[in-house]
Amino acid sequence: MLAELKGLNEECGVFGIWGHPDAAQITYYGLHSLQHRGQEAAGMVLAKDGKLTGMKGEGLVTEVFTAEKMKNLSGNAAIGHVRYTTAGGGGYENVQPFLFNFQSEAMALAHNGNIVNANQLKAQLEAQGSIFHSTSDTEVLAHLIRKGGFSDLKSRVINGLSSLKGAYAFLIMTETEMLVALDPNGLRPLSLGILGGAYVIASETCAFDIVGAEFIRDIEPGELLVINDEGIKSERFVMSSQRAMCTMEYIYFSRPDSNISGINVHTARKNLGKQLAVEKLIEADVVTGVPDSGNSVAIGYAEASGIPYEMGLIKNRYVGRTFIQPSQSLREQGVRMKLSAVRGVVEGKRVVMVDDSIVRGTTCKRIVTMLKEAGAKEVHVLISSPPIKNPCFYGIDTSSREELIASENSVEEIREIIGADSLTFLSVEGMVEAIGRPFEGENRGQCLACFTGNYPTEIYANEQSTTVIS
């Protein structure tokens, strides 16, 4: 669905490369391929001739890194970041990668995820004399590394990571090496690739396709990679881990051409649609998906049900970054600018409208209304995930139950609110089976916290009111 309107947003994407003379240009294309993970800010830090230099700014990748600015960027290694800003976390000072210049070394840091005990760690560090220059939880690791008390960077990083709770995919770079770390649950996706003799790291495998890199493997939960001119080394900084990949990566966040744990995202979404047909077969004339993530699901439902798939909703690709407006009338206009119903497809028809999730319900209600105003005789809403009843503390901006329509309303009550003729959510069991992750256990290595309330890590008391996330 339209992420900026529906209120479900991933916070960022990371990209890194070590050992390539065109590191800046490759990082630019890598970040561009990850633009869907964050449209509010972008940055990169490069290593060249024993020095780190950076450039960052608010805006899209093409806006921050213009052709003129790219002429001045060069190096044989780089880390980059794209970011979506949530309440309390905006401003230039929070744009990553962060670049720290110490007396003896320089260090750059990029992060995807959310540290759930960041407030506690900040309080401890400030009591010890640390001064924070941003409101992002990412900066916590930099202070922990600096205070680590070990002579080598790897040991200081491992020591710092041992204090963190939550979701994190970190890229850390100095003048001589790059370190890559994924949290013990593997909540966020992170993969390793190779381009010629250079190693590439990316939040999604679609970035490898764009830059011409070959996928090697996914980074393992609790794994630390050290990459330098001598090659690559891997070790575990946590010996025991419980896989809990964010399920919304498959349902909504990741690009359909990405693979996670060997599963193509588009294929997973088609399978979710097929499972919806098993659980709820509706008598209808056409099936249409809410762009973009709903399209793959709608195709799967259409194939399994035999109801024709049609493009009943069209997304306007040229609106730009016009986010939620302050008045109800402007919000309504914002939806119409970004999405249009195709009257010739839906008029007089019983329409199955397929989407990935319902968060607050406001946008879903507007789309149902839009279809009916275009002449749809009936609108039946199918959702390729269970009701989102619980907030996420791992890097998605739903931090309180009050924001979630399903936390206080039954399915029938939600149906009445959005004005649909019927409403069906996919079951938890059906969703897990349809995605088909190749791991054992009831959850198949997925985090289901937003659906079930069972969180894979400790959740700290003040997280309900926390608004500062990476």
> For residue range 12-45, what is the model confidence (pLDDT) as tens digits?
999 999 999 999 999 999 999 999 999 999 999 9
Distance in angstroms (rounded) separating the CA atoms of residues 297 and 276? 9
* Helix, strand, coil percentages, rounded to 5, for the chain: 35, 25, 40
| Least trusted range by pLDDT, from 67-81, 95-109, 186-200 | 95-109
Rounded distance, CA 10 to CA 262, Å?
21
Q: Lowest mean pLDDT: which of 236-250, 269-283, 324-338? A: 324-338
For residue 234, pLDDT over 80 is answered with yes
- 82 close to 38: Cβ distance less than 8 angstroms: yes
67: Cβ contacts below 8 Å, ≥ 6 apart: none
Q: Is the pLDDT of residue 324 over 50?
A: no
Beta carbons within 10 angstroms of residue 439's beta carbon: 11
How distant, in Å, are the alpha carbons of 78, 103, 165, 226 from that of 158? 21, 22, 13, 12
The predicted structure's pLDDT at residue 336: 67
Q: Which two tokens stand for residue 378?
A: 């009936």
Q: How many angstroms separate the CA atoms of 137 and 141, rounded?
A: 8
For the question of residue 12 being annotated catalytic, the response is: yes
Q: Distance between CA atoms of 179 and 324, rounded to whole angstroms?
A: 37
Distance CA(328)–CA(414), nearest Å, equals: 20
Rounded CA gap, 286 and 64, in Å?
Answer: 42
| pLDDT over 70 at 164, yes or no | yes
pTM of the model: 0.91
- Per-residue confidence at 89, pLDDT binned at 50, 70, 90? low
- pLDDT at residue 426 greater than cutoff 60: yes
Neighbours of 1 (CB within 10 A): 26
Question: Rounded to an integer, what distance in angstroms lies between the CA atom of residue 105 and that of residue 95?
Answer: 21
Per cent of the chain over pLDDT 90 is: 77
Element (H, E) at 78: strand 77-83
Angle between helix 428-435 and helix 265-279 axes, rounded to 10 deg: 140
| Catalytic-role residue among 12, 206, 447, 450 | 12
